[in-house]
Amino acid sequence: MDVLYFAWVRERIGIPKETVETQASTVTELVAELIAREDRYAAAFADISALRVALDQELSDFDASLTGVREVAFFPPMTGG
């Protein structure tokens, strides 16, 4: 699946987008896999409560299932308007 990062999450991880091969069944499991990879992921995901997630471009939550999901995006709380 495609994994996208925005704002300071993108800056900490160092890339805006990557394709990830994963067996994770939930967002939380995917995050755990990413954290285990490298320090920059651990730094970006250090405080999950400070992050938001969208699945296939709809806001979702970290308990959500990844079944059938093609695009996951991680970002800080939004500051529009």
Q: Which residues bind other proteins (CB under 8 A)?
A: 4, 6-8, 54, 57-59, 71, 73, 75-81
CB of 69 to other proteins, least distance (A): 14
Pairing of strands 71-75, 17-19: unpaired
Closest CA to 7 of 44, 36, 47: 44
SS3 77: coil
R_g of the chain, CA atoms, integer Å: 12
Nearest CB to other proteins, comparing residues 42 and 59: 59
Rounded least distance, CB 41 to other proteins, Å:
19
Give whichever of 36 and 68 is closer to other proteins, judged by the CB atom.
68
